[in-house]
Amino acid sequence: MFYLNVRRALLHPGCNPTLGLPEPESLEDYQKMPSRKVDTMVQIIKHHLAKTCARPLKLVTPPPQSDSSEEVIVAFEENMERPEVDVTDMPPDRIIIYSFFIGNFPLIEQVSHSVIYFA
């Protein structure tokens, strides 16, 4: 059980019931105590909702001589070779979020729905 609680807490500390922290029940609750993994998920969702057939994303680690040590999510360069596709009549992109731990679903669902429907 210890292992599962630790793994669940890797998404957000509130997902581990043994820590005694409240699991966020709304986007506002989440924003009071955010998590890097969920923030990354939000960035990816927003990127793909902004444009149909949005460019894939990649995680970029700053070079060692950089002042920042935080990794950043960026879109692949627009000048990369890619066939031209007319997206005028295409449906919006579909987004699938996978989590092995079903106990984390309420937090993932709450935050992702807030981003999709209220952002």
Average pLDDT over every residue of 102-108:
80
Residues sharing a CB contact under 8 Å with residue 76, sequence separation 6 or more, in sequence order: 55, 56, 57, 58
Rounded distance between C-alpha atoms, residue 91 and residue 80, angstroms: 24
Q: What is the mean pLDDT of residues 82-108?
A: 76
**Calpha distance 60→103 (Å, rounded):** 30
What are the tens digits of pLDDT across the range 78-89? 555 656 666 677
* Whether pLDDT at 62 is above 80: no
pLDDT confidence of 77, banded at 50, 70, 90? Answer: low
